[in-house]
Amino acid sequence: MMGLDIAFWVLAIIGIAAALAVVLLRDVFRAALSLILCFLTVAGIYVTLSADFLAAVQVLIYVGAISVLIILAIMLTREVQRGSPSGKLRIPAFVVAILFLGVVSFALINTPWQISQLPPLEPTTAALAVKLFGEGGFILAVEIAAVLLLAAILGAVVLVREK
């Protein structure tokens, strides 16, 4: 149990550092790579919390699909070496972030958290996979979403390419 606690805290520190890098880096491409690292650390945290299905979904959807879509958009946009050079909203954004941190900290401290000492009784991934993709499941909806994402990516390439 001690090893999982250490892994959780290491992943949490790396995740916070990656999230800060997303916000603070000037190069948009490097910020996107930091976002991928942040998504991966969240998946690792899910694994340490015995939420293996959420970890798999995190890797497939966020790391796999969303990150590739963001990087594709960055690569197809011209002259995006630096973020917003003006920095007009830096101070108001900082004030809003500090207020948000205060509200979240207040909610975390004042919430009576119920912690279970027992692990899940049945494997979560297999049971959920059967419910989603078994008989009467949602495999058709997943396939339609994949085709829609592919159409959106192809449409973006057609719109951005030079004539």
Note the pLDDT tens digit of each residue in 27-83.
888 998 999 999 999 999 999 988 888 898 899 888 888 888 888 777 777 665 555
Asked, for residue 96, whether it belongs to a domain, the answer is no
pLDDT for res 88: 76
Owning domain of residue 150: 2-82+122-160
pTM of the predicted protein model: 0.62
CA pair distance 125, 54, nearest whole angstrom: 9
**Residue 49 contacts by C-beta under 8 Å, 6 or more apart in sequence?**
8
Q: Would you say residue 52 lies in a domain?
A: yes
115 within domain boundaries: no
- Asked whether residue 33 is assigned to any structural domain, the reply reads yes
Number of domains the chain contains: 1
Domain assignment present for residue 64? The answer is yes
Pull the structure tokens for residue 149.
């994402």
The predicted-structure confidence for 97-148, as pLDDT tens digits, reads as follows 999 999 999 999 999 988 877 776 766 677 777 777 777 777 788 788 888 9
61's CB contacts (< 8 A; 6+ apart) are none
> Is the sign of the CA dihedral 133, 138, 140, 146 positive or negative?
negative
Question: What's the CATH code of the domain at 139?
Answer: 1.20.120.1200
Please report whether residue 61 resides in a domain.
Answer: yes
Residues 40 and 63: beta-carbon distance below 8 Å: yes
Q: Is residue 107 part of a domain?
A: no
pLDDT score recorded for residue 81: 55
Q: Is residue 127 part of a domain?
A: yes
> At 159, which helix (H) or strand (E)?
helix 139-160
Write out the two tokens for 11.
């992943």
| pLDDT confidence band for 96 (50 / 70 / 90) | very high
